[in-house]
Each structure stands twice: as structure tokens, then as C-alpha cells.
């Protein structure tokens, strides 16, 4: 019998009525002949509440106890979902991460999945269980402690189960009805994509699109797990949502498939850095050790033995980045003249696997921004992505202009 993984996010299980609605979707897949593994998040807002309790109780908390507390939200949802299915006379059982077991490393708060043995669930399915309701976001460390996978970790849990149990598909139910060409809140011209390649989805997720967690897309691409993103609130439709799949399953790719943005970016520049071999390692090594998520990096042409080094990072990491840089300077690791931080920038990106075979995408993008009088501060490119840093006040204008320039409103139309 085929296996199907269904993941329900926090908004999809926010109330008992919504859990009942989700359970009806599960029941429909059972009726279609699937053995179903349901991955559930905590009820909407519950994880934030639990994190708040931890911070209020112990600002410098023990990460092991943090995981013990914040993982409890998913346990509640899993039990309620299993009870709801049982009331519908569907053989269902809830499973916490340690019961499966979902084995992780010992990095509490940001654990990585190492293995999901299938024997326990396989045995229960063989005994007549039709639905395994698994608490997402959690696992068990080598020391036998509860671990959590980081925010959004239920997506990763779902994909990992789909890979481990060779599921036909992994359906991610959320509060949006698919992956759009850009945020519909910014432009009404945004269009839902029927299909998108793993690589495009990975870029969009890493660039700020919040539909899927980045790690879940990485895992799906590695194990070729078909993902379907769809709404838990619309009417049932087997063709609904957006299918995230391998590039060769898409008939013909658009040059650009999406415009992504990240509002809370900062641009940091070290002026007058000594220009010598190893200077980049001396700067970015300590930043990595401090947990700074460095993205765009630009080094200017050297002049008089000095150069300028610019990079971007999330705006909430600026203080830590400054401390790391100042500490490195004080230790004699390197010298620089001045550190300038611009905390009023945004990142806007265009993404599309069609860029591989089409020239002129960058020129078209830059002209569209020029026509709107939007100044570009930093540019980075990859094979299927072009990103720019701009003043934050122009972010929505830039997204709209690029969406129009690449005629993304025509996607999905005859």
C-alpha cells in the first residue's frame, strides 16, 4: 500500500474546528487507499508562547530544557489529531519524536536529523494502523534527550519522513494556496505557480519567501521527494497547490519564475582594510563563529595597499557582527580604518532556472530599476538568481517593477 505524508502547519491546526477540518482531509486520503503519516505543528501562536515562558523564566536558559518545553506544543496537537481521527473511526495513533524514533545530533534548538528507522511505524501499519500522527519539529539526541530542529522544523520533519518511508508525495498544508511569483500582498498581479523546480524553490526560500523552510527544500531535492504546497482552507482538489519537483518534470521553464525580497537586511562595510592574502578568512571566520549569517560579499579594488570589504547580514545581527569585528581588530587579527553599518536596506532578487539559457536578464533587471529611479548598492549573482541591495523605502516599488518587467502576471495564462 502506498504511503503519503501530510503536514499541517500551525494555522491549519489552530483550533479544534481546524483540526477536524484537517482530519477530514486525512480521512479522504485514507479512503483513497493510502497509509498516511501526518506531521503536525503546534497550534498557531503556541510555540511563541512557550518560547516566551522560557525566556521569562531563564534568560540564559539551558538549551536542553528549552527543547523540553517548546517541543510540547506539537505533542498536544498530535494527540488531538489522533483523537479526532479515532472519533471518525479511523485507526490512528500519535507519536512523539523519541517514540518513532527520529534520531538527531545533539545540537539543541537547531538539531539535524541523522536517521529515521522505519520498523516501529511499519509494524503498526502492518497491524492495521491507517494513520500515524507524528509531532513535528522534534527528535531525540544520542544522549536520549528531546531535541528540536529550529523554527519551521516541522517542514523538515515531513520531508524526512517522506524520504525514509518512500512516500509517493509530501503535501504541505498551510494558510496559502501555493507558491506565488511574488508576495500577493505587494502586488495583486502575483500568480500562483503550478510547478516549480527544487532549485528555484530553494533560492526563493533562502531569499525570504516564507512558504517553505529552506532545510526542507534542501532535503527534498537531495532525496527527490515531491512536495505539494496547498491551502488547508480551500475546497478539496487533487490538482490544487504548487508541485515542487525536479527540473526535468517541468515541460518548459520560464526565464524568471519569481521575485523574492528580504526587508530586514543590513549592509556593513569595513573601510581601509589591509589588502593581503587571508584577509577575507580573518574577517569572515570570526563572523561565522559568532553565528552571523553573512550573505552578499563585495570587495573593492585595492588602492595603496588598502581595500574596502562590504557584506550584508540580517539587521538583528548587526550588534553581534560589530562586536565580532571590533574584537578581531583588538586581538590584532587585522586592521581597518572605519566600520560603517547601513541598517536601512532591503534585498530584492529575481529567480529562474531559465536564466541558464537566456542572456540579458541582468540588464533587463537593472533597466527596470533604473526606470523607477531605484539605486543599487550591491549586486550578487548565481546561475539562477540575481540579487540587489537597495534602500528599504524602495523595496515594494522594486518588487512591483520587476514583476511587471518580466511579465510574471502572464504565468499560467493562455
52 is known to lie in a ligand binding site:
no
- Cα torsion at 394, 400, 401, 405 (round to 10°)? 160
Q: What is the mean pLDDT of residues 384-409?
A: 95
Distance of CA 368 to the CA centre of its chain: 28
pLDDT at 247 over 90: no
- Strand segments, DSSP code E, in 161-202 are 170-174, 195-197
pLDDT, tens digit, for every residue of 255-284?
A: 899 999 999 899 999 999 988 899 999 999
Under CATH, what is the fold of the domain 3-175? Carbamate kinase (3.40.1160)
Give me the pLDDT at residue 236, please.
Answer: 67
At residue 127, the 3 state secondary structure works out as coil
Domain assignments of the chain as residue spans, ordered by start: 3-175, 259-410
Q: What is the mean pLDDT of residues 368-395?
A: 95
The dihedrals phi and psi of 304, each to the nearest 5 degrees, come to 65, 35
**How far separated are the first and last CA of the chain, in Å rounded?**
38
pLDDT, tens digit, for every residue of 19-44?
A: 999 999 999 999 999 999 999 999 99
8 is known to lie in a ligand binding site:
yes
- Cα torsion at 230, 219, 15, 192 (round to 10°)? -20
185 is known to lie in a ligand binding site:
yes
Give me the pLDDT at residue 414, please.
Answer: 40
Q: Report angle CA 16, 20, 25 to the nearest 5 degrees.
A: 145
pLDDT, tens digit, for every residue of 171-183?
A: 999 888 888 999 8
At residue 61, the 3 state secondary structure works out as coil
pLDDT at 52 over 80: yes
74 is known to lie in a ligand binding site:
yes
pLDDT at 234 over 80: no
211 is known to lie in a ligand binding site:
yes
pLDDT, tens digit, for every residue of 310-345?
A: 999 999 999 999 999 999 999 999 999 999 999 999
Residue 234 grid cell: 480551500
CA dist 27 → 24, 40, 50, 180, 229 (Å): 5, 15, 31, 28, 19
Q: What is the mean pLDDT of residues 348-371?
A: 92
At residue 401, the 3 state secondary structure works out as helix
174 is known to lie in a ligand binding site:
yes
Task: Classify domain 259-410 by CATH number.
Answer: 3.30.2130.10
pLDDT at 95 over 90: yes
Give me the pLDDT at residue 252, please.
Answer: 66
Q: What is the mean pLDDT of the chain?
A: 92
Give me the pLDDT at residue 226, please.
Answer: 93
At residue 55, the 3 state secondary structure works out as helix
CA distance 187 to 215: 28
Residue 314 grid cell: 540580517
Q: What is the DSSP string of 271-313?
A: EEEE--TTHHHHHHHHHHHTT-----EEEPPPBTTEEEEEEEE
Give me the pLDDT at residue 308, please.
Answer: 93
pLDDT at 156 over 50: yes
Give me the pLDDT at residue 303, please.
Answer: 73
pLDDT at 412 over 80: no
Strand-pair category, 35-40 with 92-95? unpaired
Give me the pLDDT at residue 354, please.
Answer: 87
Give me the pLDDT at residue 232, please.
Answer: 85
Residue 297 grid cell: 560579499
Amino acid at each position: 500500500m502506498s504511503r503519503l505524508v501530510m503536514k499541517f502547519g500551525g494555522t491549519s491546526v489552530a483550533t479544534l474546528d481546524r483540526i477536524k477540518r484537517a482530519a477530514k482531509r486525512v480521512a479522504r486520503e485514507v479512503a483513497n487507499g493510502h497509509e498516511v503519516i501526518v506531521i503536525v505543528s503546534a497550534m498557531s501562536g503556541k510555540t511563541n508562547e512557550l518560547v516566551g515562558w522560557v525566556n521569562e523564566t531563564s534568560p540564559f536558559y539551558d538549551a536542553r530544557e528549552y527543547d523540553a518545553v517548546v517541543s510540547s506544543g506539537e505533542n498536544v496537537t498530535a494527540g488531538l489529531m489522533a483523537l479526532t481521527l479515532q472519533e471518525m473511526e479511523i485507526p490512528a495513533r500519535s507519536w512523539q519524536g523519541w517514540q518513532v524514533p527520529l534520531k538527531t545530533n545533539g545540537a539543541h534548538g537547531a538539531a539535524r536529523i541523522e536517521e529515521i528507522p522505519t520498523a516501529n511505524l511499519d509494524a503498526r501499519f502492518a497491524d492495521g494502523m491507517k494513520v500515524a500522527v507524528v509531532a513535528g519539529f522534534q527528535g531525540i539526541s544520542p544522549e536520549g534527550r528531546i531535541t528540536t530542529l529550529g523554527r519551521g522544523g516541522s517542514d523538515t520533519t515531513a520531508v524526512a519522513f517522506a524520504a525514509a518511508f518512500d512516500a509517493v508525495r509530501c503535501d504541505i498544508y498551510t494558510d496559502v494556496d501555493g507558491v506565488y511569483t511574488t508576495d500577493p500582498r505587494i502586488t495583486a498581479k502575483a500568480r500562483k505557480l503550478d510547478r516549480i523546480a527544487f532549485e528555484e524553490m530553494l533560492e526563493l526560500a533562502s531569499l525570504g519567501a516564507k512558504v517553505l523552510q529552506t532545510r526542507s527544500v534542501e532535503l527534498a531535492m537531495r532525496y527527490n521527494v515531491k512536495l505539494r504546497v496547498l491551502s488547508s482552507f480551500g475546497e478539496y482538489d487533487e490538482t490544487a497547490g504548487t508541485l515542487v519537483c525536479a527540473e526535468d518534470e517541468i515541460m518548459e521553464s520560464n526565464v524568471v519564475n519569481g521575485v523574492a525580497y528580504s526587508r530586514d537586511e543590513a549592509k556593513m562595510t569595513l573601510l581601509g582594510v589591509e589588502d593581503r592574502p587571508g584577509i577575507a578568512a580573518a574577517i569572515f571566520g570570526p563572523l561565522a563563529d559568532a553565528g552571523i549569517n553573512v550573505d552578499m560579499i563585495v570587495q573593492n579594488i585595492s588602492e595603496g595597499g588598502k581595500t574596502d570589504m562590504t557584506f550584508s547580514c540580517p539587521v538583528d545581527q548587526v550588534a553581534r557582527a560589530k562586536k565580532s569585528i571590533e574584537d578581531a581588530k583588538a586581538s590584532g587579527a587585522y586592521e581597518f580604518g572605519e566600520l560603517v553599518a547601513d541598517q536601512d536596506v532591503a534585498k530584492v532578487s529575481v529567480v529562474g532556472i531559465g536564466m541558464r539559457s537566456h542572456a540579458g536578464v541582468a540588464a533587463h533587471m537593472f533597466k527596470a530599476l533604473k526606470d523607477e529611479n531605484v539605486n543599487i548598492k550591491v549586486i550578487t549573482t548565481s546561475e539562477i538568481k540575481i540579487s540587489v541591495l537597495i534602500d528599504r523605502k524602495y523595496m515594494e516599488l522594486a518588487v512591483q517593477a520587476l514583476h511587471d518587467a518580466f511579465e510574471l502576471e502572464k504565468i499560467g495564462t493562455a
